[in-house]
């Protein structure tokens, strides 16, 4: 994919659609059809609010499905995410991304191919991380070969030092892993996040990721993946090439609340100072 032409800007803001628990998840309603309808309705409503607020793209993920499957999710999860993503695509023409938690990039890519989405997020694309799901290993070799087999132009946006995780490798390897993710893992963009959902990225860590990109002579876009607010977005976009925003766009600043179009508009207005 071509980053700037996909989003229509060199520094896109991507808003999150956090799905409620899908059928089969521990916190889903007992009535599976009701659970699916609730997820579809929320996805469609959040997509409309993000579009009205002025973001440049949307990312959908099965956030309500905790505790997450570590790697391969079962077919009913793929089916649920696909139905919800179809609902989002019907509500907006914005570029669409898919993330299947915790780390099923092949499922995300399959959903993206089915709904004509533009990119996927891979939490662990290369290397390995210790997480609350255990040790997760990157599957770049499988993800990119599946993309070739499907014949789709779907970007792979891969995390470095992903949130809710810790490295297995010696301290100081994280910045170097940018080159592995982008150059050897062939990621189309790299995401730098804080330590958890809604947590701000460390400014020094973000700068080191961008510096490592420059040192290797790469042009892979760097996105901020968590903790972006109207107060910080302009400064972050002066360093990074875009941002994925969830919590700050929700009613009351609660991650699981519906998207608030007014909060979206406020963040977009603040971002425009740096774009």
Quickly list DSSP for 2-28. -HHHHHTSSS-EEEEEE--PPTTSTTS
State how many domains the chain has.
Answer: 1
Domain of 231, in residue numbers: 9-273
117 domain-assigned: yes
Query: For the chain, how far is it from start to end, CA to CA, in angstroms?
Result: 21
83 domain-assigned: yes
d(CA 47, CA 49): 5
139 domain-assigned: yes
CATH number at residue 53: 3.20.20.70
Q: State pTM to two decimals.
A: 0.94
1 domain-assigned: no
Print pLDDT tens along the chain (275 aa): 999 999 999 999 999 999 999 999 999 999 999 999 999 999 999 999 999 999 999 999 999 999 999 999 999 999 999 999 999 999 999 999 999 999 999 999 999 999 999 999 999 999 888 888 889 999 999 999 999 999 999 999 999 877 787 777 665 555 557 888 999 999 999 999 876 677 788 888 899 899 989 998 999 999 999 889 999 999 999 999 999 999 999 999 999 999 999 999 999 999 998 78
Q: Tokens for 116?
A: 């004509």
d(CA 109, CA 158): 13
């Amino acid at each position: 994919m071509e980053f700037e032409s996909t989003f229509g800007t060199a520094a896109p803001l991507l808003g999150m659609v956090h799905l409620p628990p899908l059928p089969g998840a521990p916190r889903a309603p007992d009535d599976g059809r009701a659970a699916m309808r609730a997820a579809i309705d929320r996805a469609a409503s959040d997509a409309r609010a993000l579009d009205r607020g002025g973001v440049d793209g949307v990312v959908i993920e099965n956030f309500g499905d905790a505790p997450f499957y570590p790697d391969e999710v079962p077919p009913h999860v793929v089916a649920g995410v696909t139905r919800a993503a179809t609902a989002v695509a019907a509500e907006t023409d914005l570029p669409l991304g898919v993330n299947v938690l915790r780390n099923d990039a092949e499922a995300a890519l399959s959903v993206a191919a089915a709904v004509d989405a533009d990119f996927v997020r891979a939490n662990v694309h290369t290397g390995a991380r210790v997480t609350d799901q255990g040790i997760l290993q990157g599957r770049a070799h499988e993800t990119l070969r599946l993309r070739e087999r499907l014949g789709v132009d779907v970007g792979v946006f891969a995390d470095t030092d992903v949130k809710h995780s810790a490295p297995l490798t010696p301290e100081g390897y994280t910045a170097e892993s940018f080159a592995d993710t982008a150059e050897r893992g062939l990621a189309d963009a790299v995401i730098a996040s804080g330590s958890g959902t809604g947590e701000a990225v460390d400014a020094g860590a973000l700068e080191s990721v961008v510096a490592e990109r420059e040192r290797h002579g790469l042009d892979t876009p760097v996105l901020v993946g968590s903790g972006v607010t109207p107060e910080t977005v302009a400064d972050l976009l002066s360093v990074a090439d875009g941002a994925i925003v969830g919590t700050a766009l929700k009613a009351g600043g609660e991650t699981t609340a519906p998207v608030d179009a007014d909060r979206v508009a406020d963040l977009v207005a603040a971002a425009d100072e740096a774009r």
